[in-house]
A and B are shown apart, each in its own frame.
Chain A
Amino acid sequence: MKGLRRIFWPALLLLAVAAGADDRPTVVVTDPSARAYRVALQTFADRGPAKDATRVKRLREALAGALEFSGLFDVIDPKAFLGPVESAAFDERLVCSDWSQIRADVLVQGEIHSVGEGLTVEYRVVDVARACRSLRRHRYRGRTRDTVTMARRVADDVVAAFTGKPGVASTEIAFVSNRSGSPEIYLMDALGGNLRAITTTGSIDQFPSWHPDGDEIVYTSYREDGRPHIFVLARVGRSGRILRALAPTQSQYRAVFAPDGKRLAVAATAGGASEIFTALRTGRSLRRLTRNRSIDISPSWSPDGEQIAFVSDRSGSPQIYVMRANGTGVRRITFNGSYNASPAWSPDGRWIAYEARVAGGQFDIWLVDPEGETNLPLVSHPRSDEGPSWSPDGRKLVFSSARRGSHDLYRVDVSGRNLRRITRGPGDDKSPSWGPYPR
């Protein structure tokens, strides 16, 4: 009885509060602001025996660039700081008002320690808006030449602290460029730097696609006998090896790794028409999934590996279709427009990005859900946007566009915001494939 009495009054009070809130109308907040979190990035303190101001500066620049690349953060100019520009020791008391008064949402502190070729980077993420509570603290060990890589890892971690999923500043993008004359496969960092050719065959190399562990790229090349064949290029290899086990088909136009990395979906000619096949990653155990007189091409796996999206003109015009990975249950998911191609299934499985030819003749990037019920435009331009590929976090897409004359690569958030050009230079850059998270 005494116990009952003890909980009676608090319960009544709670009920009264709840009833009070229920009586009041609700404030419905929708459509968040377009602004990003304002991050105060302190200069990382160099605690090593041999101080290197250049390295500290390089790390700061790389970290700031990677944070802004995420689209989630704006870095505050240190001149506006009320608190110290350089990080103090983590156990030192933080004056939260120094950061809240400059309207910072986030504070990133850190320190580095280098001995010889070894480098240690430790950081802490502070949620200023939540009373400066510490969100994350971590230490990376590497080599001094990995300073930029480590800075990007830190930035990706900061993104994870606010979204639950790391950023993609540490990832890479493979693509096709004819900047050196013939179309070759190139690699670059997701931010656009460190661009280098990974094939130099002088032939036509096309359609790179990453293995899920990032160690291999599969692509199409005409260098063998003037016909297209599938080659696999190890990350540290040179020109790649042909998948000869695919020989029963006459020409192989494109291959993509399944999410488990053990299988390939291949578009290849058989009996005069292009069909979709699956095979082991070695090219063996070839299995034909489609069988008709139409053109079936551009396979893209669902993230669970259970389904494949592809393009077929069986209805008279190229449209996007989805089927189970054993070839059954084929269904069309795009019904509008006369030309829909290049499907790319998002990592979370909720969208298939594709290029759609619209009025005016150009291609725009659209999104359709796998059931074909929701269809919306992502980017549009009077000149064509083509060949979308998803970042591994599913928040961004890279695509090629001729909006400045020749084709360059652009990236955009899935919300349609933060459109940025990421390649420049001579020639056309096309067929981008966004690589997986680094291991």
Chain B
Amino acid sequence: MSAATLAWESERRRGLRHTLALSVAVHSALLAALVLGPGFRSRRVLVPSVVTVDLVAAAPAPAPARPAPPPRPLPRKVVLPARPERTVTPPPVARRAPPPKPAEQDYDDLLEKLRAEAGEPRPEPVDRRPSPPPAPAPGPAPAPAQTLPAQASPVGGATSQAAPEVVAWLRDARIHVRREWVLAAGFRFQALETRVEVDLDATGHVRGEPRITRRSGNPWYDESVVRAIRKADPLPAPPEAGTWPFVFRPEDYGR
């Protein structure tokens, strides 16, 4: 092998090494871009940590040809002071003037009067926040249009593994007891929770007194819970006789 050939071979190997290094570098860069880039992240499938069971779906399956049902309406009051998340629909900005009012009691006029006394022109109203969404529909009953946190299943415990007849009974028991649960207006917006165990015979009759396992801190609220169970006696016949846990909350606000 001549010296020229050796030099060429050495040059060729050096070139190969450079090509190989370049190739590794380019592939590494592509792989890194693929793994760390936004496109990859956006394709990630988010798996919810909690799988909830829709009790409505536990009913007999609907005919496949039917169109999809409209979305379920949101529960009425969902934002509670105990869960201070800013999930609020604001009253929208009104650009029109309010209806005329008697001058002597009108707040507008009072403010105007004060401005005039102070020798100040009235500034145009400025809202420094983003435009709010539309107003709630007018009517005597409040209809908050607020965004909900993810809703918990209406039944708790090991429902996802429960047999269909158990799920159906949980639903029936919930509806039956709820119908007998009366609560004073002042309790409704409070984050109260009472847990109670109820001993049921095979026909749904309550045996003995319901046993409160976790008090809400408000004895009158706890009393309303026990009263509801006593009033609901007999409940729908459970899948099996024994002790069944119940939890009572004033509003379903997504716990």
Q: A-side interface residues toward B, CB under 8 Å?
A: 17, 20-33, 35-37, 71-72, 105, 127, 129-131, 159, 162-165, 176, 178, 183, 204, 206, 250-251, 253, 269, 272-274, 293, 295, 297, 313, 315-318, 335-342, 348, 350-351, 356-364, 366, 369, 371, 373-384, 393-396, 402, 413-419, 428, 430-431
- Complex-state Cα separation, A376 to B126, whole angstroms: 22
* Known contacts A25-B159, A376-B142, A380-B143; A415 and B188 CB within 8 A of each other: yes
With an 8 A cutoff between CB atoms, is B237 at the interface?
A: no
Query: From residue B173, how far is it (CB to closest CB) to chain A in Å?
Result: 5
Which residues of chain B come closer than 8 Å to A393, judged between CB atoms?
186
Contact, CB under 8 Å: B218 / A164: yes
* Known contacts A26-B155, A414-B189, A416-B142; A72 and B246 CB within 8 A of each other: no
Kindly name the residue among B75, B89, B125, B185 whose own CB sees the greatest number of chain A CB atoms within 10 A. Answer: B185
Kindly name the residue among A369, A373, A393 whose own CB sees the greatest number of chain B CB atoms within 10 A. Answer: A373
Which residues of chain B come closer than 8 Å to A373, judged between CB atoms?
81, 84-86, 88
Which residues of chain A come closer than 8 Å to B220, judged between CB atoms?
162-164
- Complex-state Cα separation, A419 to B142, whole angstroms: 11
* Known contacts A29-B248, A350-B81; A361 and B156 CB within 8 A of each other: no
With an 8 A cutoff between CB atoms, is B183 at the interface?
A: yes
* Known contacts A130-B226, A379-B142; A336 and B92 CB within 8 A of each other: yes
Contact, CB under 8 Å: A315 / B128: yes
CB closest chain-A residue, reference B118: A272
Interface residue tally of chain B, by bracket? 35 or more
Kindly name the residue among B92, B146, B154, B166 whose own CB sees the greatest number of chain A CB atoms within 10 A. Answer: B92
**In the complex, which of the residues B134, B142, B156, B228 contacts A380, with contact meaning CB atoms closer than 8 Å?**
B142
* Known contacts A269-B114, A363-B98, A377-B144; A337 and B170 CB within 8 A of each other: no
CB closest chain-A residue, reference B178: A29
CB closest chain-B residue, reference A38: B182
* Known contacts A25-B155, A384-B99, A419-B140; A105 and B125 CB within 8 A of each other: no
Query: From residue B59, how far is it (CB to closest CB) to chain A in Å?
Result: 17
Query: From residue B66, how far is it (CB to closest CB) to chain A in Å?
Result: 28
Q: Is the interface of B mostly helix, strand, loop or mixed?
A: loop
Which residues of chain A come closer than 8 Å to B167, judged between CB atoms?
25
Contact, CB under 8 Å: A369 / B81: yes
Contact, CB under 8 Å: A28 / B94: no
- Complex-state Cα separation, A26 to B195, whole angstroms: 9
Contact, CB under 8 Å: A26 / B94: no
- Complex-state Cα separation, A26 to B81, whole angstroms: 25
Interface mask (B54-96 → A, CB under 8 Å = 1, otherwise 0): 0000000000000000000001110111001110111111111
Which residues of chain A come closer than 8 Å to B242, judged between CB atoms?
20-21, 24
Interface mask (B105-135 → A, CB under 8 Å = 1, otherwise 0): 1010011001101111001111111001011
Which residues of chain A come closer than 8 Å to B95, judged between CB atoms?
338
- Complex-state Cα separation, A306 to B246, whole angstroms: 40
- Complex-state Cα separation, A289 to B180, whole angstroms: 51
Contact, CB under 8 Å: A21 / B244: yes
Which residues of chain A come closer than 8 Å to B123, judged between CB atoms?
313, 316
Query: From residue A222, how far is it (CB to closest CB) to chain B in Å?
Result: 8
Contact, CB under 8 Å: A36 / B105: no
CB closest chain-A residue, reference B88: A375
Contact, CB under 8 Å: A402 / B99: yes
* Known contacts A72-B184, A318-B111; A21 and B104 CB within 8 A of each other: no
Further contacts, 19 of them, CB under 8 A, given A28-B252, A272-B117, A373-B86:
A24-B158, A183-B105, A313-B111, A317-B126, A317-B127, A335-B128, A338-B93, A350-B81, A358-B92, A358-B135, A374-B79, A374-B86, A377-B143, A378-B142, A380-B136, A381-B139, A415-B189, A417-B185, A418-B185
Contact, CB under 8 Å: A335 / B94: no
With an 8 A cutoff between CB atoms, is B157 at the interface?
A: yes
Interface mask (B223-255 → A, CB under 8 Å = 1, otherwise 0): 110111011000000000011111111111000
**In the complex, which of the residues B102, B107, B114 contacts A273, with contact meaning CB atoms closer than 8 Å?**
B114
Contact, CB under 8 Å: B182 / A24: no
Which residues of chain A come closer than 8 Å to B107, judged between CB atoms?
318, 341-342
Which residues of chain B come closer than 8 Å to A402, judged between CB atoms?
99
Query: From residue B199, how far is it (CB to closest CB) to chain A in Å?
Result: 9
Which residues of chain A come closer than 8 Å to B36, judged between CB atoms?
none
